[in-house]
A and B are shown apart, each in its own frame.
Chain A
Amino acid sequence: MRKLLIWLPLGLFLGFFALFASGLLKPDDRVITSKLVGKTLPAFSLPAAASDRPGLVSTELATGKPRLLNIFASWCLPCAAEAPQLLALAQEGVEIDAIAIRDARPDVDRFLARYGNPYSRIGLDARSGVQIALGSSGVPESFVIDGKGRIVYQHVGDIRADDVPMILQRLKDAR
């Protein structure tokens, strides 16, 4: 037993070493820019992330009308900074759906109560699986989806006030 314990650290380290080596030798693709721009959304179905909004299913995004898919999280500060712009977009009549990343329902509810709720539907992506399938590497990110459920534009980072006209234009072009 003592003998095993003595050699355990070395064993663990060798495991980590192998992991580091494999990570280092792999081709580097950590800068995730979505290859899905111009393609149809991957299929997904997410449970509701907020108490008063339904969850999100990928097929519901192909409704004939362009819409915005926003990826956010209640624990993300830039997402809070982005909230006024999303509200402004919603006021312009833009339909916004959202995916909350690594979140919990009470936290999302609190976030929405605090910063406003511009969303029609909010899906909960507890393990970032859908986020990564979408080719998104962080929060916040936004996708402009055309009426057929295809991604036409990916916006990495928060939507600033001076990005709003550009987003509106993209949505108009997607018609």
Chain B
Amino acid sequence: MIAEAGLIALWLAFALALLQLTLVGFGLAGGKQELLGSVRPIAVAQGGLIVIAFALLIALFLRSDMSVLLVVNNSHSMKPWLYKFAGTWGNHEGSMLLWVTVMGVAGAAVALFERALRRDTHMATLGGQAAISLGFYAFLLFASNPFARIDPPAADGQGLNPLLQDPGLAFHPPTLYLGYVGLSVAFSFAIGALLTRRVDAAFARAMRPWVLGAWILLTLGITAGSYWAYYELGWGGWWFWDPVENASLMPWLAATALLHSVTVLATRDALRAWTVMLAVIAFSMSMVGTFLVRSGILTSVHAFAVDPERGTFILVLLGFYIGGALALFGWRVGAVREGAPFELVSRETMLVVNNLLLTVILGLVLIGTLYPLMTEAFGHKVSVGAPYFDRIAGPIALILMLVMAAGPLTRWRRDRLSVVARRLLVPAVIAIFAVALLAWVAWGRIGVLPFFGLVVALAVGAGSIAPLWKRNLRRTPLFTYGMVIAHLGCAVSLAGMACDSAFTVEKLAAVRVGDSVQAGDWTLQFNRISPIAGDNWTALQADLEAVRGGGAPVMLHPQSRFFASAATTTTEAALLTRWNGQLYVVLGQEAEDGRWQLRIWWKPFVTLIWLGGILIALGGALALIGRERRGWQLKWRERAAA
């Protein structure tokens, strides 16, 4: 019965979305104001129903209901409960249901909590949200039904891909989707504003918290995904420029640009059309990413079950929503007046440069991701790998970071170049010092990109805290702290990336029990290898004793894990985290002579990459809280005065 109830909830949500869209259409275009009164309750009910549908699917997975096709294909009764739970979204249908659930909840949240927006724009926004949800509900109902039954029921399921059987699955996809799909709110806002022709500072102030919220979650999701790939895949790398990774990076780049342009619009009422464009692009990138991943049009390690019919369905949705939004933009944006002007040397200009550079990186990543598809259309087959992306996007990202340091030190509207330069003196001195130091210590031993990465990270790290210089720290607003911390996070993350590629020590060794290996400053003693058993796997586990200098030995246990229910082997790397880096050990195959392959990395300061990601998200959260709190304070003050 649970599956049927879930399907009914999904159908009802679909019907409510249709109703919501119709009411908004007749209410706004037909001038029937009285129809608009029920739009908000309907949006909330629609959100509630889709949450129920999703909860019921989770229940099916937790109960291991083997009469449901999706459970049979992607679960197994022997799995630990956490992976039964998280396995709900470890597959195509379940993750699409998560997608529409986030979209429905976001719509309900806009209906419940959005107070700053004009009523007609608010209604048009809810209409836009319903229109997008409608297509994805239809996709689930007609092409990816997660509740389909099989008769007779299977004896047991086929298990979940062992690479996914990790706590990372419980955290990474939901956060990523909250960010990914949360951007649909910005998209709907843009549609609403275009329909009602109201793009101004008030609109930007209303949209900003939603963009910020989605962006924080997207940042966390990407950071978590990167760390997960790093320790689970056992390659020691943290970013592979895989199409699916690019699919999450592109919305992030667009959302980062949007975050900054929306601030310009909110503060100075400039960049109106551009901000609307970015709001459309950000969620469009989420949809394009979904299409690329699910249609099987590009090969990727994040393989979903591929079905051309589904690809066609999403492509039609893509054409409808993105094409429709861009056509609306072309048709209506002429009616949006030019915003306020600004001087060449001003924070506005800095933010425009930030936006342009982010857009250029976005374009290059998009082209790199799609290039194999483009050449294939002309009969050539090529592949695009990490070297392209590193070489092309890397230098631009470094320039972007420099602008990031200068931006907050420049005043709004107009500033003097000499004054800005003087404020940048300390970071510049640090940069010169860093160049000299690095050239002396490591010249010729590290690549050009890591070299400048380290220099820029140091200079920008100093530059990012410069806005707090000589300020009354207790009276500095919270959102300024947020910006400082987020920018510092970028520098910290960059430092981690540069340290990893510049200073990583790698060692491949074949060792017998009793042997020891040297890697960097570490000595690893290979004590023994023994079989162990987990809930639904068995493993060969090595016991290694790692010692650095005269320190106390630490035990490390890398494993080679065998999963019976999917007949797959995974490597479980052993990680040892120290303040100045991570020791990463992977157990490989046994050779015929009884020696075991060990791959050992000492990665100095690699953890800074993810620490930086967390700082960026934290900065975003502080900015969000700071802005919202100021809004409430103003409201209370008004109320107290009245």
Whole-angstrom distance between the Cβ of A111 and the nearest chain B Cβ: 11
Instruction: Of the listed stretches A22-30, A35-43, A57-65, A146-154, name the one at the interface; the rest are far from the partner chain.
Output: A22-30
Contact A81 B329 (CB under 8 A): no
Interface secondary structure of B, over-half rule: helix
CA distance A20 to B376 in the complex (A): 11
Interface centre among B281, B308, B333, B383 (most CB of A within 10 A): B383
Interface of chain A residues 85 through 133 with chain B (CB within 8 A) = 102-104, 114-115, 127-129, 132
Which residues of B are found within 8 Å of A161, using beta-carbon distances? Answer: 589-592, 597
Interface centre among B333, B386, B508 (most CB of A within 10 A): B508
CA distance A25 to B329 in the complex (A): 29
- Chain A residues with a Cβ under 8 A of chain B: 3, 6-7, 9-10, 13-14, 16-17, 19-24, 26, 28, 30, 73, 75, 77-78, 80-81, 83-84, 102-104, 114-115, 127-129, 132, 137-138, 160-162
Contact B387 A77 (CB under 8 A): no
Residues A10 and B329 in contact in the complex (CB < 8 Å), given A17-B323, A22-B377, A83-B508:
yes
Query: Which residue of chain A is the closest to B306 with respect to CB atoms?
Result: A28
Which residues of A are found within 8 Å of B315, using beta-carbon distances? Answer: 17, 20-21, 24
Which residues of A are found within 8 Å of B288, using beta-carbon distances? Answer: 16
Contact B374 A6 (CB under 8 A): no
Contact B373 A23 (CB under 8 A): yes
CA distance A77 to B571 in the complex (A): 15
- Chain B residues with a Cβ under 8 A of chain A: 235-237, 273, 277, 280-281, 284, 288, 291, 295-297, 299, 308, 311-312, 315, 318-319, 322-323, 326-327, 329-330, 333-334, 370, 373-374, 376-377, 381-383, 385-388, 506, 508, 510, 588-592, 597, 599
Residues A77 and B323 in contact in the complex (CB < 8 Å), given A17-B318, A19-B370, A132-B382:
no
Pick the residue among B323, B591, B597 that contacts A13 (CB under 8 A).
B323
Contact B308 A102 (CB under 8 A): no
Contact A24 B311 (CB under 8 A): yes
Contact A19 B599 (CB under 8 A): no
Which residues of A are found within 8 Å of B308, using beta-carbon distances? Answer: 24, 28
Which residues of B are found within 8 Å of A9, using beta-carbon distances? Answer: 277, 280-281, 326, 329-330
A-B residue pairs, 6 tightest by C-beta: A10-B326, A132-B381, A161-B591, A7-B330, A77-B235, A23-B297
Contact B370 A16 (CB under 8 A): yes
CA distance A21 to B318 in the complex (A): 11
Pick the residue among A10, A21, A28, A103 that contacts B327 (CB under 8 A).
A10
Residues A13 and B322 in contact in the complex (CB < 8 Å), given A75-B387, A77-B236:
yes
CA distance A17 to B284 in the complex (A): 12
Which residues of A are found within 8 Å of B370, using beta-carbon distances? Answer: 16, 19
Which residues of A are found within 8 Å of B312, using beta-carbon distances? Answer: 24
Pick the residue among B235, B388, B506, B510 that contacts A84 (CB under 8 A).
B510
Which residues of B are found within 8 Å of A24, using beta-carbon distances? Answer: 295, 297, 308, 311-312, 315
CA distance A138 to B277 in the complex (A): 38
A-B contact pairs, 7 of them (CB 8 A): A14-B323, A30-B296, A75-B386, A132-B381, A132-B382, A162-B589, A162-B592
Pick the residue among A28, A81, A102 that contacts B385 (CB under 8 A).
A102
Which residues of A are found within 8 Å of B508, using beta-carbon distances? Answer: 80-81, 83-84, 115
Residues A127 and B382 in contact in the complex (CB < 8 Å), given A26-B376, A30-B299, A161-B597:
yes
CA distance A160 to B308 in the complex (A): 35
Which residues of A are found within 8 Å of B386, using beta-carbon distances? Answer: 75
CA distance A5 to B596 in the complex (A): 61
Q: A13-B323, A80-B508 are in contact. List 7 more A-B contacts (CB 8 A).
A: A3-B334, A6-B333, A9-B280, A19-B373, A24-B312, A28-B296, A161-B589
Contact A6 B235 (CB under 8 A): no
Query: Which residue of chain A is the closest to B373 with respect to CB atoms?
Result: A23
Query: Which residue of chain A is the closest to B236 with respect to CB atoms?
Result: A77
CA distance A114 to B589 in the complex (A): 21
CA distance A19 to B281 in the complex (A): 18
Which residues of B are found within 8 Å of A77, using beta-carbon distances? Answer: 235-237
Which residues of A are found within 8 Å of B381, using beta-carbon distances? Answer: 128, 132
Number of A-B contacts (CB under 8 A): 99
CA distance A125 to B311 in the complex (A): 33
Which residues of A are found within 8 Å of B333, using beta-carbon distances? Answer: 6
Query: Which residue of chain A is the closest to B509 with respect to CB atoms?
Result: A84
Contact A6 B387 (CB under 8 A): no
Whole-angstrom distance between the Cβ of A79 and the nearest chain B Cβ: 11
Interface centre among B237, B311, B326, B590 (most CB of A within 10 A): B326
Which residues of B are found within 8 Å of A84, using beta-carbon distances? Answer: 508, 510, 597
Whole-angstrom distance between the Cβ of A18 and the nearest chain B Cβ: 9
Query: Which residue of chain B is the closest to A106 with respect to CB atoms?
Result: B447
Whole-angstrom distance between the Cβ of B294 and the nearest chain A Cβ: 11
Residues A128 and B326 in contact in the complex (CB < 8 Å), given A16-B370, A81-B588:
no
Which residues of A are found within 8 Å of B297, using beta-carbon distances? Answer: 20, 23-24
CA distance A158 to B75 in the complex (A): 30
CA distance A6 to B272 in the complex (A): 13
Which residues of A are found within 8 Å of B385, using beta-carbon distances? Answer: 73, 75, 102
CA distance A153 to B449 in the complex (A): 39
Contact B382 A128 (CB under 8 A): yes
Residues A17 and B319 in contact in the complex (CB < 8 Å), given A6-B333, A24-B308:
yes
CA distance A21 to B370 in the complex (A): 13
Query: Which residue of chain A is the closest to B280 with respect to CB atoms?
Result: A9
Whole-angstrom distance between the Cβ of B194 and the nearest chain A Cβ: 12
Whole-angstrom distance between the Cβ of A136 and the nearest chain B Cβ: 10
Query: Which residue of chain A is the closest to B385 with respect to CB atoms?
Result: A102
CA distance A77 to B329 in the complex (A): 45
Contact A19 B377 (CB under 8 A): yes
Whole-angstrom distance between the Cβ of B270 and the nearest chain A Cβ: 16
CA distance A118 to B254 in the complex (A): 46
Whole-angstrom distance between the Cβ of B50 and the nearest chain A Cβ: 28
Query: Which residue of chain A is the closest to B374 with respect to CB atoms?
Result: A19
CA distance A73 to B384 in the complex (A): 13
Query: Which residue of chain A is the closest to B327 with respect to CB atoms?
Result: A10
Whole-angstrom distance between the Cβ of A32 and the nearest chain B Cβ: 8
Query: Which residue of chain A is the closest to B591 with respect to CB atoms?
Result: A161
Pick the residue among B273, B330, B382, B592 that contacts A10 (CB under 8 A).
B330
Which residues of A are found within 8 Å of B597, using beta-carbon distances? Answer: 81, 84, 161
Which residues of A are found within 8 Å of B387, using beta-carbon distances? Answer: 75, 102-104
CA distance A128 to B591 in the complex (A): 32
Contact A20 B291 (CB under 8 A): yes
Which residues of B are found within 8 Å of A162, using beta-carbon distances? Answer: 589, 592
Whole-angstrom distance between the Cβ of A114 and the nearest chain B Cβ: 8
Query: Which residue of chain B is the closest to A80 with respect to CB atoms?
Result: B508
Which residues of B are found within 8 Å of A7, using beta-carbon distances? Answer: 330
